[in-house]
Amino acid sequence: MPLSYHRFAGSSLDRLAALSDGVFAVAMTLLVLDLKAPAVAKRTQHPIWSRGGGGSEHVLVHDLLHTVAPRLLPYALSFLTLGIFWVGQQTQLSSFARTTRALTWIHLTFLLAVTLLPFSTGLLAQDTTYRVAVAVYWLNLLALGAVLLVSIRYADRAGLLSADTTEEMRAALERRIVVYQGLYAVAALMCLINTYLAIGLIVALQLNAVIAPRIWILDRA
């Protein structure tokens, strides 16, 4: 019987990791493109220009504070998000003994969600008071976590985990995803009260994931 193409296609972990690194690098770079310097040509038309006393610098400071600064928080938030999920994916990849075509496509789906983050970040940066923008951002986080959860569970069932990956390590990988996704959902729901509260909670969760202080359930995750 002829060997099926699907038996050996997409079976390189190294190539998958390399592609993932490239996609993350591009997504992180695209985030900064949303931070645009104030247009010089428009400053002379600004009302502050007529006030005198070094008006041009006053206009620049005004534009930086009112145009650029509000976009810095979504930018920093998303940079942290991409860093966290890059670490999460690389941790999973290092726990696999090998990959299959199906597992490779699961991670390609994950990378699809990664490439959408600059869009959801730009939407959030346009106006942080819109609940829909917060919801779209949360859905992006949900997609990232859900695909990683599918990945580790599929790898476990298919016998793709390496011998060095213990049951405790596998459980820890799943638990971190489930706990954080639950907390992201709670944080996103806070936008019904105040969108800044929701964003602030998501930022706090991302900082916790990076700093990893010993805090109750978050330490176990």
Q: What is the DSSP string of 47-89?
A: GGGGG-SSHHHHHHHHHIIIIIHHHHHHHHHHHHHHHHHHHHH
pLDDT number for residue 128 = 81
pLDDT in tens, 115-149: 999 999 999 988 888 899 999 999 999 999 999 99
Alpha carbon distance 148, 109 (integer Å)? 10
Task: Give bridge partners of residue 161 from the DSSP assignment.
Answer: 96
What value does the mean pLDDT take over residues 77-92? Answer: 94
One-letter amino acid of 200: G
CA-nearest of 159, 184, 140, 152 to 88 is 152
- φ/ψ bin of 81: left (φ > 0), alpha (ψ from -120 to 50), beta (otherwise): alpha
CA 135 and chain centroid, separation: 14
Model confidence band, residue 212 (pLDDT cutoffs 50, 70, 90): confident
User: What is this structure's pTM?
Assistant: 0.82
> 9-44: string of b/e by CB count within 10 Å (b at 16+)?
ebeebeebbeebeebbeebbebbeebeeebeeeebe
Model confidence band, residue 52 (pLDDT cutoffs 50, 70, 90): very low
pLDDT in tens, 56-71: 777 666 555 556 666 6
Q: Which two tokens stand for residue 39?
A: 């247009």
Q: What is the mean pLDDT of the chain?
A: 83
Q: Which two tokens stand for residue 92?
A: 């999973």
Question: Number of helices and strands (H, E) in the chain?
Answer: 9, 0
How many C-beta atoms surround the C-beta of residue 57 within 10 A?
10
Task: Give bridge partners of residue 32 from the DSSP assignment.
Answer: none
What value does the mean pLDDT take over residues 151-160? Answer: 93
One-letter amino acid of 187: A
Alpha carbon distance 129, 126 (integer Å)? 9
State the Cα angle at 207 between 211 and 69, rounded to 5°: 135
Q: Which two tokens stand for residue 47?
A: 């009302």
One-letter amino acid of 204: A
